[in-house]
Structure 1
Amino acid sequence: MTTDVFEPLAGLEGVGSAARAARDAVDVLLRDRGLRKVGADMTAEALLRGAHASAALAGSPATLDEAREGSADPLVTGAVRITGELMRLAPQVDTAPVQVWTRLHQLAGADLGPEPTLGHLRTSREPVPDDIPGLPPAPPAEEMWERLSALGKALSQPSKAPGLVVAAIVHAELAVLRPFPTANGLVARAAERAVLVARGIDPVAVTVPELGHWELSATYVPALNDYTARGLVGVRDWLLRSCEVVALGAERSPLAG
Structure 2
Amino acid sequence: MRICRYDDNRLGVVKDDRVFDVTEALDAIPAPAGYPLPTHDLLIANLDKVRARIEAVLPNASSKAVNEVKFLSPIANPGKLVAAPVNYLKHLQEARSDEAIHHSNQVLEIQKIGLFLKATSSLIGAGEPVKVRHHDRRNDHEIELAIIIGKPGTNIKKENAWDHIAAYSIGLDMTVRGPEERSLRKSVDTYSVLGPWMVTADEMGDATQLGFHLTVNDEDRQKANTKDLVLDIPELIEYASAFYTLHPGDVIYTGTPEGVGPVKPGDTIMAEFEKIGRMYVAVESA
Structure showing greater Rg: 2
User: With structure 1 as the length reference, what TM-score do the two structures score?
Assistant: 0.25
If asked which structure has higher relative contact order (CA below 8 Å, sep 6+), I would say 1
Identify the structure with the greater strand proportion.
Answer: 2
Identify the structure with the greater helix proportion.
Answer: 1
